[in-house]
A and B are shown apart, each in its own frame.
Chain A
Amino acid sequence: MTIPTEQTAVAVQDKDTSRARETRRITIDPITRLEGHGKIDIFLDGSGQVERAYFQVPELRGFEKFAQGRLAEDMPQITSRICGVCPTAHHMASTKALDALYQVAPPPAGRKIRELFYSTFMTEDHALHFYFLGGPDFVVGPTAPAAERNVLGVIAKVGIEIGQKVIAMRRRLRELMTLSGGKVVHPVLGLPGGVAKRLTAEDQARFREVAAEAVEFAQFTLSIFDSVVLRNSDYVNLILADHFTHRTYYMGLVDEQNRVNFYDGMLRVVTPEGKEFAKFPADKYLDYVAERVEPWSYIKFCYLKPVGWKGFTDGAESGIYAVAPLARLNAADGMATPLAQQACDAMFKTLGGKPVHHTLANHWARVIELLYAAERMKELADDPEITDPRVRTLPAATPREGIGVVEAPRGTLFHHYQTDERGVITRANLIVATQNNAARIAMSVEKAAKGLVSGTNISEGVLNMVEMAFRAYDPCLGCATHSLPGSMPLEVRVRDAQGATLATLRRDADGTIHRE
């Protein structure tokens, strides 16, 4: 789910009447939101060709207002309840914002427990995504019929035993998270300055056992990717094709040696040519990241402030950047664990060097990150210092402002709180992973539309292409907590140059296609 920053809810009516054009810009009212659906609006130019396509997802509203007046200390528990997909990411970013707010750092064991918990979460989420969310697109094969391109198709392809293994691995990882975090979905682990609970020797033994299984499982997943995806030239061609290929900047958290780290470090941005453009700590993000509102959407698009907003376009002159697995691998100099580093080298070698601009390579990068998360879990679980009872530094400073950053599975996540001297929030801002990617997603949708929409003829293929883009970017979507992102209903609407609707294609949640 995306969480808006400082937005006021705007629900306006879509008026299907002619509107005057302003020079080359189409002036229309912001589009009516169809609850729970993703919407794509395609505008045709005077000669009936696609001029522009816009993509909107429903997203959560009112975060800032919701946060105001609350105790900052409560935010790690509250914000983890906002999102049913990445509660741990919000919990951790929020906890780190509290560290900054109270100017306190965890003792070594506290920090390690946090990172261990976080690595466990990343392992679980990436594994689930690969098999059940991204899987339908490539494990089954890109040319497979639509009826097979779903999770059942994946299970049919890899076999029930493997499917059961995934569920079992997932359960083991979630049991661990319950052990150290209290509740998987609503963790209570993080406190400003540390964690709530130390790790005993028994706890550590359990983590070590599951971590070893996780590493094996991750290697196994990589081998599946290799045999099912990389040996399928149809899929490799699709990865390399122009679809969803964009030459943008890339951002991710890195450690002191510029290797990927999910939990902490500096934010590093590289240019489309792969050169380091910036490296900064979380509290300087406002110098580098700006948000832009487009009149046709209420989502805020992030871009790099020093480069500037140049529209929905590629290249080093445009401030658009990407986050998430592929971006993280592009922005770093390597992986911090040996097996993941090997896999990472292999990927860049196969895809022709760094940085890789093919969005579908996110699936490959995700599997490499799965391996890193599992190896990192094992490293931390093996660390003798992690059972040290000193897991918290008590805050003493008066709070004022704090910014926390983590790498969520879907990209960089920022929590920013300002409080009064009692720690009551006066202002709050969130930038969720997908906001960082929103501009690039819009470009991908537009590219897909240009290839697949001609006049009022909307090919059903456009729905599939857009869905593939979704899955590759793996966006946080504003659907109700308990609905599945990968199967979000989609509506594509073609409009003429004045904004009047010419045709609509809608795919409901059960797969029924409606045309108007």
Chain B
Amino acid sequence: MAHTRLLCLGNELLADDAFGIVVAGRIRQLGLPDLEVVEASVSGFNLVDYLLDASRLVVVDTMQTAKAPPGTVRVFREQDVRSTPGGSPHYVGLFEALAVGRALKLKVPEEVVIIAVEAADCETLGGAMHPAVAAALAPVLEQVQKLLAV
């Protein structure tokens, strides 16, 4: 049966990097049907485990391009990555993991959508979330629900 996985990447110890984890918590509270919510803080190819056996994947993540103000929300599809204007998100691990999964003919979803929020600080242990990043929570929740409604 087709199901969508919402993969929320983040690390709750690292200031703005907690964003994905916060999103996961909020989405769970909404109790949306036919949706698998997964949180992960793993790196690089370890992501492969989280990419398999879903028909559709929506990823929530932070990015740091230093080209947009903190809290800027970008939504794009996996195929759009190389043409994303204004610099690329630096979570190359996800795209390489997807590429490896496909190259090895593993069960990677055909459709992958990424929602990425520009972060100010993902490096201070125990740091507080930037207010602009926190303010992006509501628009991101809205985006997620919009994507799932399709």
Contact = CB atoms under 8 A, between A and B. Distances in A.
Nearest to B103: A155
A35 B64 contact: yes
Interface string A52-73: 0000001111110110000000
Given A62-B125, A482-B9, A160 B93 contact: no
Contacts of A487: 92-93, 96
Contacts of B143: none
A168 B72 CA distance: 38
B137 interface: no
Q: Chain B: interface residue count, which band? A: 35 or more
Given A155-B103, A480-B17, A487-B96, A171 B49 contact: yes
B44 A483 contact: yes
Nearest to B59: A482
A351 interface: no
B45 to A, nearest CB: 5
A61 B125 contact: yes
Nearest to B43: A84
Contact of A151 (B43, B99, B105): B99
Interface string B41-80: 1111111110000000000011010100000000000000
B147 interface: no
Interface residues of A, number: 49
Given A34-B66, A510-B81, A62 B127 contact: yes
Contact of A59 (B13, B45, B92, B123): B123
Contact of B43 (A9, A155, A481): A481
A443 B109 CA distance: 44
Interface in A460-492: 478-489
B123 A167 contact: no
Nearest to A37: B90
A152 B100 contact: yes
Contacts of A65: 125-126
B14 A481 contact: yes
Contacts of B81: 510
B92 A484 contact: yes
The main secondary structure of chain B at its interface with chain A is loop
B142 to A, nearest CB: 23
A221 interface: no
B103 A160 contact: yes
B21 to A, nearest CB: 11
A105 interface: no
Nearest to A479: B90
A151 B122 contact: no
A263 interface: no
Interface in B83-128: 84, 87-94, 96, 99-100, 103-106, 119, 121-127
Contacts of B48: 167
Interface string A148-174: 001110010000100110010001001
Nearest to B84: A510
B124 A9 contact: yes
B99 A152 contact: yes
Contacts of A58: 123
Nearest to B87: A508
Contacts of A479: 90
B85 to A, nearest CB: 11
A14 to B, nearest CB: 13
Which of A63, A489, A509 has the largest number of chain B CB atoms within 10 A? A509
A167 B104 contact: yes
A84 B50 CA distance: 14
Contact of B124 (A61, A164, A486): A61
A259 B13 CA distance: 37
7 contacts: A34-B66, A132-B45, A132-B100, A480-B17, A481-B17, A482-B94, A485-B44
Interface of A: 3, 9, 34-37, 58-63, 65-66, 78, 81-82, 84-85, 128, 132-133, 150-152, 155, 160, 163-164, 167, 171, 174, 185, 478-489, 508-510, 512
The 4 closest A-B pairs by CB, nearest first: A484-B93, A84-B43, A484-B44, A66-B125
Given A66-B125, A484-B91, 4 more contacts: A62-B126, A65-B126, A84-B46, A482-B41
